[in-house]
Chain A
Amino acid sequence: MKPGKEGRRPGFPGSGTALALGAALGAAALYILAAAEEPGAAFRAFFLSPFARPTVLANLIEQAAAPCLCALGTALVFRSGDFNLGGEGQAYAGGALSVLALLAAPSLPGPAGLAGGLAAGAFAGAFVALPSALSRRNLGADVLLSTFLVSQAVVLVLDWAIAGPLRDPASNLIATPVVEAAYRLPRLAPPSWLSFAPVLAAAAAVALDRFLRSSRRGLELTLFGRNPDFAVSMGFRVRAYAFWPLLASGALNGLAGALLALGANGRAVRGMTGGIGWNGISIALLAGNDPRLILPAALFFSWLETGSRQASILAGISVDVGTVAKALVLLFATARFLGTARRKGTA
Chain B
Amino acid sequence: MAAEPVLEVRDLSKTFPSTGTVALSGVSLSLSAGEIHAVVGENGAGKSTLARILAGLDRPDSGRILVRGREVRFRRPRDAERLGIGMVPQQSLLAPGLSVAENVVLGHEPRLLGILLDRRRAYYETALASANFSFPLDPGSRISRLSPPERREAEIVRALARGGDVLILDEPTSILTESEAETLYGLLKRLRDAGASVILISHRVREVLSAADRITILRNGSVVDTILPAETDDCDLALRMASSASCFTADGPAESGGQAVFRFLGANFRDSERVTLRDLGFTVRRGEIYGIAALAGNGLGALEDLACGERICDSGAVELLGRNLVDWPRDELRASALSYLPTDRDGRGLCLGATILENLAARIGSPGDWSRRGRAARRAEAFRLLEDAGGRAPPDAPIDMLSGGNRQRVLCVRELGTFTPAVLAANPTQGLDPRAQEETWNRLRSRAREGAGILLLTSSVDELFSVADRVAVLYRGRLTELGIRTGSVTAEAVTRLLTGAAA
Using a CB–CB cutoff of 8 Å, the interface residues on chain A facing chain B are 4-8, 10, 214-216, 219-220, 222-223, 226-227, 229-237, 344
Which residues of A have CB within 8 Å of B398?
7-8
Partner-binding segment picked from B7-15, B251-259, B339-347, B427-435:
B339-347
| Known A222-B354, A223-B351, A233-B349: A214·B375 in contact at CB below 8 Å | yes
- Asked if B260 is at the interface (CB within 8 A of a chain A CB), the reply is no
Top 3 A-B residue pairs of the complex, sorted by shortest distance between their CB atoms: A235-B334, A235-B330, A227-B351
| Known A7-B353, A7-B398, A215-B370: A230·B18 in contact at CB below 8 Å | no
| Known A216-B367, A216-B370, A219-B361: A6·B353 in contact at CB below 8 Å | yes
Interface string of B335-364 (1 = CB under 8 A from A): 100001010100111111110001001110
Partner of B352, one of A10, A226, A231, A237: A226
A226 in contact with B370 (CB, 8 Å): no
Which residues of A have CB within 8 Å of B332?
235
- A345: nearest residue on chain B (CB-CB)? B57
How many of B's residues come within 8 Å of A, CB to CB?
Answer: 32
Task: Return A173 CB to nearest CB of chain B, in Å.
Answer: 48
- B308: nearest residue on chain A (CB-CB)? A233
Task: Return B374 CB to nearest CB of chain A, in Å.
Answer: 9
Partner of A226, one of B310, B353, B361, B363: B353
Q: In the complex, A220→B361 CA distance in Å?
A: 9
Which residues of B have CB within 8 Å of A236?
330-331
- Asked if B175 is at the interface (CB within 8 A of a chain A CB), the reply is no
- B309: nearest residue on chain A (CB-CB)? A235
- Asked if B180 is at the interface (CB within 8 A of a chain A CB), the reply is no
Interchain Cβ contacts under 8 Å between A and B, 8 examples: A219-B361, A223-B351, A223-B362, A229-B347, A233-B310, A233-B334, A233-B342, A234-B362
Q: In the complex, A226→B362 CA distance in Å?
A: 13
Beyond A223-B362, A232-B348, 16 extra complex contacts between A and B, CB < 8 Å: A4-B353, A214-B372, A214-B375, A219-B362, A222-B354, A222-B358, A223-B354, A226-B352, A227-B352, A230-B348, A232-B310, A233-B340, A233-B348, A234-B363, A235-B332, A237-B331
- B334: nearest residue on chain A (CB-CB)? A235
Which residues of B have CB within 8 Å of A232?
310, 330, 348
| Known A222-B358, A223-B354, A236-B331: A214·B370 in contact at CB below 8 Å | yes
| Known A232-B310, A233-B340: A226·B335 in contact at CB below 8 Å | no
B347 in contact with A227 (CB, 8 Å): yes
A234 in contact with B334 (CB, 8 Å): yes
Which residues of A have CB within 8 Å of B18?
10, 344
Which residues of B have CB within 8 Å of A5?
353
- Asked if B182 is at the interface (CB within 8 A of a chain A CB), the reply is no
Q: In the complex, A169→B260 CA distance in Å?
A: 77
Which residues of B have CB within 8 Å of A7?
352-353, 398, 400
| Known A8-B398, A216-B370: A226·B354 in contact at CB below 8 Å | yes
Q: In the complex, A234→B347 CA distance in Å?
A: 12
Task: Return A339 CB to nearest CB of chain B, in Å.
Answer: 11
Which residues of A have CB within 8 Å of B361?
219
Which residues of A have CB within 8 Å of B308?
233
Task: Return A227 CB to nearest CB of chain B, in Å.
Answer: 4
Which residues of A have CB within 8 Å of B352?
7, 226-227
A8 in contact with B353 (CB, 8 Å): yes
Which residues of A have CB within 8 Å of B331?
235-237
Task: Return B1 CB to nearest CB of chain A, in Å.
Answer: 34
B353 in contact with A230 (CB, 8 Å): no
Interface centre among B353, B358, B398 (most CB of A within 10 A): B353
Which residues of A have CB within 8 Å of B351?
223, 226-227, 230-231
Which residues of B have CB within 8 Å of A227?
347, 350-354
- B368: nearest residue on chain A (CB-CB)? A216
Q: In the complex, A234→B362 CA distance in Å?
A: 7
Which residues of B have CB within 8 Å of A344?
18
